[in-house]
Amino acid sequence: MKTITFTDFRKRASGFITEVEHGETFVLLRHGKPVAEVVPFSDRSRRTPSWKQPGIRLRIRGSDLSSAILEERESDT
């Protein structure tokens, strides 16, 4: 990953874009601070974040836990 100033990028944008097409990644600096990251475009679909993916379903043999709890509550009365 290369770091370049915004002024340098403006002056030589065509050359930098060619490098990005070949897989290079750049961080653009403005006043010494990173402001952007230029990365090659990926047409792969973005992965779904883990918090949006379905969770693991646990299964046990026999009756389910909620039924067991309800039966126990009913037997206590």
Q: List the chain domain ranges.
A: 1-39
pLDDT tens string 41-62: 887 667 777 788 888 777 767 7
Over residues 22-37, mean pLDDT: 95
The CATH number, out of the four listed (2.60.40, 3.40.1350, 3.40.1620, 3.30.565), of the domain defined by the range 1-39: 3.40.1620
Cα–Cα–Cα angle for 35, 37, 19, rounded to 5 degrees: 130
Across the chain, mean pLDDT equals 86
pTM of the model: 0.53
For residue 66, pLDDT over 90 is answered with no
**Which distant-in-sequence residues (6+ apart) come within 8 Å of 27 by Cβ?**
1, 2, 3, 4, 34, 36, 37, 38
Tokens of 5: 């100033």
Cα–Cα–Cα angle for 33, 38, 42, rounded to 5 degrees: 150
